[in-house]
Each structure stands twice: as structure tokens, then as C-alpha cells.
Amino acid sequence: MLSRLQLIDQIKRKKTFLCIGLDPDIQKIPAFLQQYADPVFEFNKRIIDATKDLCVAYKPNAAFYESRGIKGLQSLIDTYKYLPKECLSIIDAKRGDIGNTSDQYAQAFFNEEASGMGFDAITVTPYMGNDSVTPYLKYEGKWVIILALTSSAGSKDFQYLTTEHGHLYEAVIQKANTWAGADRIMYVVGATKSEEFTSIRKFAPDNFLLVPGVGAQGGSLEDVCKYGMTKDCGLLVNSSRGIIYASNGEDFADAARSEAQKLQLQMQEELEKAGVI
């Protein structure tokens, strides 16, 4: 478990707010890893070893594990257990369902005794409302990360619809703020939406924002920081493919480290510029 204060402290100490996405596509990981009993776990393990001083969070996306059935689930459990305890562990599962079903999802990802996994945080979709999200909040100290404005092109289909509380993504934030405070709730906002960060900060001045979309999706780290950074940083910026697939040779972990280092150095500059460190 990682509290808001511990997260902020780690950001200041390591001079980074990088979240590394562990999205291992079995087709893309280096061929030489196939000799290991679990190539996916071996891949993740080496990425983690090479980058853990450069980031504050890791985010395995459940799809990349669930798509491989039982083997994938075992890779996910082993990866969860290998994550450094000082880093925030986020399962990007984007779940959302009625209350008793959400109870089961919460147990699957939060209750280590029951499932083998005790992630610190989970991404959830907000559209089924309060009763679909509160089951996760019953787990003291765990984080719920609610999809607000996603990085996808399709975000335009629903998230910008006008409501009496502003755009739908703004209405989502205002409502979710009534469920728990900035010590338990974060929001997903895509880096490709940097022009919306100012309006998002009006409704979520203190919440951490999980920001995917830099690197492979083309979002600008500089713009995200310009419009989204708070006095406590308030940002976890994710990169997955840009780091983990920097090379598909035997040097993949070193290549991942140098991509992560580039982001860390830019982040350090932004933290200094904003007076966070």
C-alpha cells in the first residue's frame, strides 16, 4: 500500500513521476526469452530490474495477461509479486459492473490472500456509477483510478457530450469526488488531451492524474506538465511501448532503461521548473 504522502515523497526523492506500463505482447518480446519457462515474466523482471530507480509506478495492463489464459494469469501474479514495494502498483483493468460483481473484481486484484494479487490501485470505468466503484473503496488504503478523459480518438464519441455539469468527463469527476477524496481517487486523463488539463484541474485540483499517451501515442510531456502539474506534482505519466519495446534484441533491458532515463530527466526538469523539488 502506498499513501498519497509516500507517493509524493517518492516523486521528490527519485525526481521522477514516471509510470512504466508492463504490456508484454508475446509476439513482440525478444525471441531469446522463449528459452525461459515463463518468457513474459522473465521479460518483465528484466525491465523492472533495469528501471526501478527511474520510476515511481508500474502498470501492468490486464489484457496482455488475460489474453494468454492460465499462463498469462500466472505471469501477472508473478510480476505483481516481483514489483518493488516502494513503487505504486497499478493494475490497468478498466473494470466496471454491478456491486456484487465489482466485489469479486476488487477481491481478484486487491486481496492477495485470496487471489495472489494485492495491487495498490486499479483503473475502473465510471459509467455504471457509485455502486460499481464503492466496492473497491472498501479496501482501506487502496486507490481507485477512474477513467475521465481517455487518450483514445474515440473519447470524442461520449466523453465530450454536454451535460448540465459540463462535458461528460467533467461530470464524471464532479460526481466521483463525492465518493472519496484525493487520497483515494485518481483520474485517467490522456496526454493527447493536454488542452483539457486546465479545465480538469478546476474540478480535480489535488487528485493525482494517471496520464497515458506519451511516447507511442504522441502526447507531449511538456504540455501535460504545463497545464496539469500541481505543487505536489499530481501527475503519474505512463509510457509502455516507448520503453519496453525500445529494442527487441538481447539489449532490450538496457534500451528500456535509456528510454526511461530520457523521460526521467525531462521530468526532473519539469519538477524543478514548477518548484516541486
Ligand X SMILES: O=c1ccn([C@@H]2O[C@H](COP(=O)(O)O)[C@@H](O)[C@H]2O)c(=O)[nH]1
**Residue 217 found at the interface with ligand X (CB under 6 A):** yes
Cα 213–chain centre separation? 11
Determine, following the binding rule CB under 6 A, whether residue 10 of this chain makes contact with ligand X.
no
Measured from the CB atom, is 45 or 94 closer to ligand X?
Answer: 94
Nearer to ligand X, 115 or 152 (CB): 152
Question: Nearest Cα to 183, choosing from 112, 219, 234?
Answer: 234
Catalytic site includes residue 231: no
Whole-number minimum distance, CB 180 to ligand X, in Å? 20
Buried/exposed 241-274: b ≥16 CB within 10 Å, e otherwise? ebbbbbeeeeebbebbbebbbebbebbeebbeeb
Who's near 42: CB < 8 A, 6+ residues apart? 33, 36
By C-beta, is 153 or 265 nearer to ligand X?
A: 153
Minimum Å distance from CB 5 to ligand X? 26
151 lies in the binding site for ligand X (CB under 6 A): yes
Q: Which of 94, 175, 226, 262 is catalytic?
A: 94
Give the single-character DSSP code of 56. S
By CB under 6 A, residue 159 contacts ligand X: no
**CB nearer to ligand X: pick between 234 and 242:** 242
Q: At its nearest, how many Å lie between ligand X and the CB of residue 61?
A: 4
Kindly state whether residue 77 participates in binding ligand X, applying the rule CB under 6 A. no
**Contact set for ligand X, span 14-53 (CB under 6 A):** 21, 23
* Residues contacting 27, CB < 8 A, separation 6+: none
Does 96 help bind ligand X (rule: CB under 6 A)?
no
* 30, 72, 126, 190: residue in contact with ligand X (rule CB under 6 A): 190
Q: Strand 162-163 relative to strand 166-167: parallel, antiparallel, unpaired?
A: antiparallel
For residue 192, give the nearest of 223, 236, 157 by alpha carbon: 223
Q: Identify which of residues 152 and 247 has a Cβ nearer to ligand X in the complex.
A: 152
201 in the Ramachandran plot: left (φ > 0), alpha (ψ -120 to 50) or beta? alpha
Strands 88-95 and 57-60: parallel
Chain residues binding ligand X by CB under 6 A are: 21, 23, 61, 92, 150-152, 188, 190, 212-213, 215-217, 238-242
Active-site amino acid positions:
94
